[in-house]
Structure 1
Amino acid sequence: MSTGEELLRTHGLRVTRPRLAVLDVLTAGGHLEVDEVARRVRTRLDSVSTQAVYDVLGALSRAGLARRIEPAGSPARFEARVGDNHHHIVCRGCGEIADIDCATGEPPCLTPDTTHGFAVDEAEVTFWGLCPACQSRREADTSA
């Protein structure tokens, strides 16, 4: 049995070819939009609809096998890195996203001044800036 099959079964999900393919795509890394996940899955399977990919990503997210992130002004993205309360840094120029490890080492990374009765188990932080490539382009544009 493959690791993907074990993961799906362990998390109470049926093993299907689309689920295995999406899980494999996410496990390869990155912060992928649904269309990119679908494009990559289609190279592995004969046919799969975008709606099927949305459904699989939803099931994987609910099961804790995928994480959905939504930086402001960007479509939802998905990644396989879950359960560690890491954060993200987003380039304002090109939209590239990179992981930032939790500053305190255990979730949540921030302590709110009030919880309003909630049991806080995660803090989501998004850092913004310019990636090295966009910094270089900006420097080239201003010196020209």
Structure 2
Amino acid sequence: MTSGRALPLEGMDAAERIRAAGLRVTDSRRAVVEALHQRPHASADELYRTVALSVPQTSLQSVYNALADFVDAGLVRRIEPAGRPGLFELRVDDNHHHVVCSRCGAVQDVDCAHGAAPCLDPADTHGFTITVAEVTFWGVCPTCAAS
């Protein structure tokens, strides 16, 4: 479960972001944050391949552990487009959505068009207090459309 708190992270380096989230800085954690900065919407496996270039002693499990810690601390957001592995991003400070290419799987952020979180209201909440709405738009990206 995420903490739901927004961290003021703009302009901070990886170590500062990790400390601001209340976590201990390690080489693997720092490398995961840097990889996410370079590759938003990456899977854990994709991040591991990037991290292993700069921290060769890291393991896939340490990347998964770091991502779980980051999600719990509110530093990273996990998104789960249908039929895809979980993807991770550093953009956690707003209620934005995503557009996913149904052919190649490319993912882009889409700003919320209807105000602050949860930005959409269901017809029936069934007694729930709604805090976030996650919307995934599916379509064909310009690269796939051109081919």
Cα-Cα RMSD: 1.3
User: Aligned residues: percent identity?
Assistant: 50
Other-structure match for 1:142: none
Structure 1 counterpart of 2:137, from 122, 127, 137: 127
Counterpart CA distance in 2 for 1:32 and 1:101 is 19
Other-structure match for 2:89: 79
Counterpart CA distance in 2 for 1:51 and 1:136 is 38
Secondary structure of the equivalent of 1:43?
A: helix
Counterpart CA distance in 2 for 1:3 and 1:90 is 28
> C-alpha displacement at 1:109, in angstroms?
1.6
> C-alpha displacement at 1:104, in angstroms?
1.4
TM-score (norm 2): 0.87
User: Is the counterpart of residue 18 in structure 1 residue 28 in structure 2?
Assistant: yes
Other-structure match for 1:91: 101
Number of aligned residues: 136
Other-structure match for 1:34: 44
Counterpart CA distance in 2 for 1:21 and 1:129 is 32
TM-score (norm 1): 0.89
Structure 1: gaps (5+ residues)? 138-144
Structure 1 counterpart of 2:112, from 102, 107, 131: 102
Counterpart CA distance in 1 for 2:86 and 2:113 is 24
Which 4+ stretches in 1 moved above 6 angstroms? none
